[in-house]
Structure 1
Amino acid sequence: MNSEHQYGQLSDGHFIPRLGFGTYKLEEVPNSKTIEATKIAIEAGFRHIDCAYVYQVEEEVGLAVRSKIEDGTVKREDIFYTSKLWSTFHHPNLVQSCLERSLKKLRFDYVDLYLIHFPIAMKAMEKCKDAGLAKSIGVSNFNRRQLEMILNKPGLKYKPVCNQVECHVYHNQRKLLDFCKSRDIVLVAYGALGTQRYKQWVDQNSPVLLDDPLLGALAKKHKRSPALIALRYQLQRGVVVLAQSLKESEIKENIQVFDFELTEEDMKVLDGLNRNFRYVAMPSMSDHPNYPFADEY
């Protein structure tokens, strides 16, 4: 993944690979599967690895990345690694220690991108960037109002370079995407293929995104899988997209998203699938004052 169109530029000058490999897994899946899948992803060409403190697999991901560095497949600077600050570390005095814990598990000197997993203040994150522990800082699951609060904060030193949110053809985040683009913030999509497998977060009666007949028809037309159509849709909208799988065949297939293009008409059809449907609504957090999903976008 080294051609120019496969990278996007962040507002602080760093570059982010536009296709990322997600490492969240269900608790019942052994951590060894994460090591194996991450190695396969790097061998297949993924250079953007998305993880988080709360996923509890940073040790395994670090092991996989280091083994691919040791065998000469990649150098550390080839890998764009994202970690996230979990909600129990929001006190300013705990922010850097959470990142340092992640770095210790990974055995890395720095992360390329550090995100606030759920909406909180930004100042302590800026210190992580100043200390060289994070090259870029951003946010996750912030709505427009919460982003504006950060952007309008007096004395803001570094604005968030990205906002990682649930985004797929059933919830295309058009208004939030337009807002982020207008503020030079990159939108990063998680859940781009639907998230039924996240059983503890998602109602199992939710529609199965990859079974959508219109997605299937476009897949047939382009001789690609519905997953590749769903990923390509995001790339053509200027969204950085994460793809998660533990299956070797799917990991290798997902990297082929750069090998074809959707037409303008295809994009309109996919835009028409939007129903503002959220798989991961976090109802248990809905009474929190910073709950981000009550606003329209």
Structure 2
Amino acid sequence: MPTVTTRTIPFRSWQTWVRITEPDEARAGALPLIVLHGGPGMAHNYVRNLGELADTGRTVIHYDQLGCGNSTHLPDAPDEFWNPQLFVDEFTNLVAELGLSDYHLLGQSWGGMLGAEIATRRPAGLRSLAICNSPASMALWAEGAAELRAELPDDVQETLTRHELTGAITHPDYLRAADVFYERHVCRTVPTPDDFQESVAQMEAEPTVYHTMNGPNEFHVVGTLRSWSVIDRLDLIEAPTLVAAGEFDEATAGTWQPFVDHIPTVTSHVFPDASHCVHLEHPQAFRAVIGDFLARHDS
């Protein structure tokens, strides 16, 4: 069985919580994988099953980003504090504190956006990047969400719009209508996996990061990330990159196509009968694709 240890590492005057899964038998040449969770603000729990990639002989490193999960929370920080550079700096600090010279990077949803931000800085140790279920800009994300929302039943669309116009986005009817979107395009597994529910519960208990950077939900993006884009910097990425998404993903094909168009060394993979949380819906198939990609770029 793999060995799991946890620790905290200092980041400025705060603490980043880290979970390290080490294989029973390390495979020669297998580089560690760092996993970036999404949200922003969803903590590591819902991507925890990627630790099973340790069964392939490599170490897997999860961490809770600042403001999330077991890391330091800063509910009183001003809105402008929460920006991509903060999380790039936290990642750079983590790599240095863990003494990693070479590593792979996988980001899911916001984690993939952050992974792209990191990769444009061309860190010396980055050997590959997996961008999973992520948009290249929030404008494209909003367009994709609008397209998917237009496919919802008329009564669901009407309920969403009516409550958004009045600001009643915590009304039970609004939340039930939003769940229709989530069940189609965020996680199609029924019942919703415990790991996902844990991340949601943590985010709802202290929603500073999610509400500030994103907004109240996945398709009503009014936070500080609403104008974010990495498209004009994608040609700076040197690391071989895999772009992965689900057939019914809220990150629609149009949102991630710029990664394929502009990253110099890139491949893509769409998982059938899957949405935004492919790793929870089809965990074995997802880990197989990711594992093969990582193995090809270990050297």
TM-score by length of 1: 0.31
- RCO higher in 1 or 2 (8 Å CA, sep ≥ 6)? 2
- TM-score, structure 2 as length reference: 0.31
